[in-house]
Structure 1
Amino acid sequence: MTIDVRVLDPGDWDAWFGNLELAFGGLREDVENRAFDERSTVFERSLVAWDGAEIVAGAGSFPFRLAVPGGALVPSAGVTMVGVKPTHRRRGLLSTLMRRQLDDVRALGEPLAILTASEPAIYGRFGYGAATQQLMAEIETSRVRLSVPEGTDDVRLRLVPPGEALQACEAVYARLVTGRPGMLARVAPWEQRVLIDPAEDRNGSSPLQCLVAERGGEVVGYARFHVKPDWTWTSTHEGSVLLRDLDALDPAAYAALLRYLLDLDLTSTIRLRNRPVDDAWQQMVSDVRRCNVQVRDSLYVRLVDVGAALEARTYQTPVDVVFDVEDAFCPWNTGRWRLTGDAKGASCERTEDAADVALSVRELGAAYLGGVSLLSLAAAGRVRELRDGAVAEASVAFGAAVAPWLPHGF
């Protein structure tokens, strides 16, 4: 089999995307999502694998900026549209595409690559580590009370058509990005992604609704959600609120939005599908056991340039540690790196000094945003301590004040 990997030509987009749909089971994407996917495709960053005249695999990336501990927005390749035709699996095509893609990302000078994985087992061999989690919950609103902070009653709430409120909501989102690692700075066309609402995806729920929180005439928070009515045969209401987004600039605005959603008539459940694991509502509810909390993996991080990536973030406590990094897939990262840093900045350079900690680039990716402890990785046998106390020192320094979180997929 002779495979030719080339950059995607705009005229081949339909066939390229069709191959992706086939790789994910063959269902055709709805018109609204498909149109956004084509509009957001960055052709010069998208790869096609050809077997003769047949497209058999593809991958792409977006030029994102990712918030990291310390508040910097770091250029990151958002890996997407990865799919191999079922007839061509187990032939090394994914490895070929990952090899070409990471070489290209390095040439672009982007120190990070990030992705969300359809299956967790796929990307570890390419150096991606699971760096964030998302919280899911189903809150039984008829059995849970909410404790709200002072000032909640002073917040004005208004229902506004989602499109009309978009600019004000995006201004709130933009103010929050640098305060939580894992968030993405949204630029065109990604601010439009939050409005996509195909009827066929609603599963009986309402069109998207938008609630804004205001103080002094300024929007200080918003929630986007659906309502799904449901009745039992005895006419008891069992409707659900399906939360898509909730962002607020202060606790009172957050509480006002949440209280509205929990108090909606004819509903008995609010379903949260992607929230930070330290989301504040967990400290406000009267009975967290009635909230059916679960967590799962979310954003995977890959350090393409170890030195540049570790220098781009800050550290909670002063750190001076030598990492012995293994990176078989991107060998330019392999070797010893001395990281020195604190809350003001950092330096990471190659060194011949003795190593303090040995690990692979995958573990560095998992710990990079502060959501995964190097100590926990060491306890799992994935990090080796070569100097007494070095792992604990680095683990504390790598932490973040808030849990990292990816607010939406790509």
Structure 2
Amino acid sequence: MTTELRVLDPAEWDNWYAVLELAFGGVPEADEERKLWQELTEHERSLGAWDGDRCVGTAGAFSFRLTVPGGRSVPAAGVTMVSVAGTHRRRGILTSMMRRQLEDVRSWGEPLAILTASEPVIYGRFGYGAATQAVHATIDTTRVGLTVPEGTDGITLRVTSPTEALDATEAVYAALVPGRPGMLERRPGWERVALLDPPGDRDGASPRLCVLAERDGRVVGYAHYAIKPNWSFAGSDGSVSVHQLAGLDPVAEAALWRFLCSVDLTARVRLMSRPVDDAWQHLVTDVRRCEPTVREILFVRLVELGAALEARGYQTPVDVVFEVADAFCPWNEGRWRLTADATGARCVRTDDPADLALSVRELGAAYLGGVSLLSLAAAGRVRELRPGTLTTASVAFGSPVAPWLPHSF
């Protein structure tokens, strides 16, 4: 390979980003969107592959904090903006960027790397495991009703713009972050991502709106949504697209769902990327007619295995020895003993016999508690070497709340 891999110079950002845009279809982004991503790019954590004066590969890493089981937030490199020019495929550029990036993440002292994947088949070979899922659905409000909890009528609703409500909605979001694995603490500037609404991306829908749920004058929930009008020979047939919805308690959340399902001149509510244990599934009278579909969202990679496993909490006490394969980051390979209880966790190298054998990819998939080690074993991806340890470890790694990534990056 004759390409040079180097840290991104801010002066080269436009050239670098143009390579990324072309790799994702070549449709230029709206000026406001492009400007925001330029401001959010952490140049010192971004890489470019160069063939002479031509940029032919891109990769970035945001500095995030990710909620893990137990409620702690852990430093995590948010891998992003990864692309290779079509003229330079199959030359090892992606592999070299991924290896350099993980070495950098390790040097920064961050135990995790995370990403969302346009093509999920790519990242398993670099040790990333699919750790969270999300539900997409369409509620047919002409045939599906809602049963809401007592007290819902006590919630006051107010429609405003996302910009005007920003401080209140960010406060609600921040209050919810510790309660669900997979959520990201908002760093300065990231609150503006939720406000992006280029007219060219609306597909005939309205500008985004915000409805606030209030109790005694205090904001206890919100939803960002847009209305797409449509008319057929029989009459109105519009739809509501829900971009964000969050409530501090079940009553506030139910009030928001009821409002969205009763918007005038609409016949359906489209939900995008909701938690798999989301309450709306138990509020609707007929979940079949909502046609829920599930897909993976967040991929997790343990960069420093011991530190990563020590950082999270466990549902039950556990003492297990893992035999870990990790050819891409060989510093993780070998046997590790994890001991954990209510006081904390410790994960260190050991020469003791292994109880479970797996790769770092499986540990990444199970890390946030949404994918069980038992299910991975059923697929042949985890081997039990000492009888009884698989079930014990699987229960300990679980989470009572499904992990969920609230927004992409």
> Is TM more than 0.5 here?
yes
Distance in 2 between residues matched to 1:24 and 1:170, nearest whole Å: 30
Provide the C-alpha distance between the structure 2 equivalents of 1:170 and 1:83, rounded to a whole number of angstroms. 31
Matches within 5 A, 1:2-401: 2-234=2-234, 236-401=235-400
Structure 1 Cα separation of the partners of residues 331 and 161 of structure 2: 50
Q: Which amino acid aligns with 1:69?
A: P
Using the TM superposition, give the Cα deviation of residue 344 of structure 1 relative to its aligned residue in structure 2, in angstroms.
3.6
Amino acid at match of 1:96: S
Question: Secondary structure at the residue paired with 1:194?
Answer: helix
Q: Secondary structure of 1:57's match?
A: strand
Partners of 1:71 and 1:25 in 2: how far apart?
38
Q: Does the 8 A contact of 1:373 with 1:395 survive in 2?
A: yes
What are structure 2's unaligned runs of at least 5 residues?
none
Q: Distance in 2 between matches of 1:252 and 1:342?
A: 34
Alignment partners' CA distance in 2, 1:229 and 1:378: 48
Q: Distance in 1 between matches of 2:279 and 2:33?
A: 31
Amino acid at match of 2:271: L
Helix, strand or coil at the partner of 2:323: strand
Q: CA offset at residue 343 of structure 1?
A: 3.7
Q: Distance in 2 between matches of 1:291 and 1:107?
A: 46
Q: Per-residue displacement from partner, 1:70-94 (whole Å, max 9, x unpaired)?
A: 0000000000010000000111100
- Give the drift of 1:217: 1.1
Specify the SS of the correspondent of 1:404: coil
Number of matched residues? 409
1:149-175 superposed Cα distances (whole Å, 9 cap, x missing partner): 111000110012211110110000000
d(CA) in 1 for partners of 2:172, 2:137: 24
State the one-letter code of the partner of 1:351.
T
Say which SS state the counterpart of residue 178 (structure 1) adopts. Answer: helix
Distance 1:204 1:131 in 2: 34
Check the 8 A contact 1:70/1:313 in 2, yes or no. yes
SS class of match (2:71): coil
Aligned residue identity for 1:255 = A
Deviation of 1:233 (Å):
2.7
Aligned equivalents of 1:96 and 1:188: distance in 2? 31
Which AA in structure 1 matches 2:34?
A: R
C-alpha distance in 2 between matches for 1:202 and 1:32: 14
Counterpart residue type for residue 361 of structure 2:
R
Extract unaligned runs of 5+ from structure 1: none
Deviation string for 1:186-232 (max 9, x for gaps)?
01110111001000000000001000001111100000000000000
1:70 and 1:343 in contact (8 A); partners too: no
Q: Deviations over 1:235-286 (max 9, x none)?
A: x111000000000000110011110000111000000011000000101111
User: Which SS does the other structure have where 2:232 is aligned?
Assistant: coil
Opposite residue 76 of structure 1, the aligned amino acid is A
